[in-house]
């Protein structure tokens, strides 16, 4: 013989959420439905709908529903992501989208939002005379947006091989 024994074991069902975007980057003036976010639940038991909370780290760049529902009978749902033109020349913004749901391990996905603004350049003369002295001309850089953050730095060079 053997001496009998019992032991209890707790089993935790670790279901998770996952995210995917149909694009990696959008332009901030792309408007409604600039991208599509797919939210997927890992479990095969899809008899009940699942309520998912969505957050984004900067709501001035993208807009999407804050609460979504994966319908009963479905493993995933597509959610439109709207681009917001913040009228700010602020460089490419890396937006992190996060999802959570009770009883599920959450997920995150990144989306780059690029500027829609641009710069215009103007020179105050039509031609520059060699040895005209300094300064021979002025170059003006104007952002085509109402705000620029952080302060705009423009660098460049003049090709003197004419």
pLDDT of res. 132: 63
pLDDT of res. 123: 72
- Run of H or E residues at 90: none
Contacts of residue 77, Cβ cutoff 8 Å, sequence gap at least 6: 38, 39, 68, 69, 70, 71
What does each of the 162 residues of the chain score in pLDDT, given as a tens digit? 788 888 888 877 689 999 999 999 999 999 999 999 999 999 888 999 999 999 999 888 999 999 999 999 999 999 999 999 887 777 889 999 999 999 999 999 999 999 876 667 777 777 767 676 666 677 677 666 656 665 666 666 666 544
């Amino acid at each position: 013989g053997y001496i009998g024994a019992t032991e209890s074991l707790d089993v935790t069902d670790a279901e998770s959420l996952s995210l995917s975007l149909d694009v990696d980057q959008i332009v901030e003036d792309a408007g409604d439905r600039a991208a599509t976010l797919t939210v997927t639940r890992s479990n095969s038991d899809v008899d009940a709908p699942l309520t998912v909370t969505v957050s984004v780290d900067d709501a001035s760049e993208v807009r999407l529903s804050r609460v979504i529902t994966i319908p009963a009978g479905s493993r995933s749902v597509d959610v439109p992501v709207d681009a917001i033109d913040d009228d700010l020349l602020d460089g490419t913004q890396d937006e992190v989208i996060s999802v959570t749901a009770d009883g599920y391990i959450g997920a995150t996905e990144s989306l780059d939002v690029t500027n829609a603004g641009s710069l215009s350049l103007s020179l105050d003369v039509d031609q520059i005379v060699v040895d005209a002295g300094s300064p021979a001309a002025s170059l003006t850089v104007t952002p085509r947006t109402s705000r620029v953050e952080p302060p705009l730095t423009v660098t460049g060079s003049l090709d003197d091989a004419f």
